[in-house]
Amino acid sequence: MWLMQKVLLIMLITLVSSKRDNHRGQPRNQERKADRIPTSSEEDEGINLYFARNISQSPTTTSKPKQDEIVEKFIESLVASEKYYKVVESLERKLRHLEIMFNERSNKMIKHLLEIRQLVKSSPSEFLEIALRSMNADLEKLRNAISKSVTHPKLRGKYLLTRPYDPRVKEGLCFSGVSCMYVIFFITSYLQNR
């Protein structure tokens, strides 16, 4: 920062001193011309030189049409770049949307594949065990329903039973239920020990 200030100070001093030298030289020349009384021929010659000098001077800056063309080309390039920028933005939005959809769908697929892998990895004995448990629960419900529904039928006449049910039927049901349970238990223990 201080180096920059020193450089600016030196440039300022140089500029001021050069301007002062230029101003010192000009008033002296103007004073000499003002002291002299010009003659009419010198005046005519000075005027002619003045006008001739103005006509013959070439412009130091570029013409207005060239500057306008440059500005127009610059504006056209800005407009074109803005259009491309808008196209790029819309493409970016579409890409983001597609990326989000791809991620969601791939996550769903991964989830389903993991579920399938778990099913494949689990042994058949687990499937059988689950099936047997559900079958056991169904048998218990059936047994409870049968035991509750067996009541004295209200028959008229000579068909009135003295016993609520036949003992042989009860034993048969119990035997079949016990045998089913025994078979299920035997199968599950065999599959687990395998």
172 band by pLDDT with thresholds 50, 70 and 90: very low
What is the structure's pLDDT at 169?
47
- Is-contact 188 125, C-beta < 8 A? yes
Asked if residue 1 has pLDDT above 50, the reply is yes
Task: State the residue for tokens 């440059």.
Answer: 70
Its pTM surpasses 0.85:
no
* Range 103-129 average pLDDT: 82
What is the structure's pLDDT at 96?
93
Query: For the chain, what's the residue count?
Result: 194
**Looking only at Cα atoms, what is the longest distance across the chain?**
170
Q: How far apart are CA 143 and CA 180, in angstroms?
A: 12
Q: How far apart are CA 64 and CA 58, in angstroms?
A: 15
pLDDT in tens, 34-54: 555 555 566 666 666 655 554
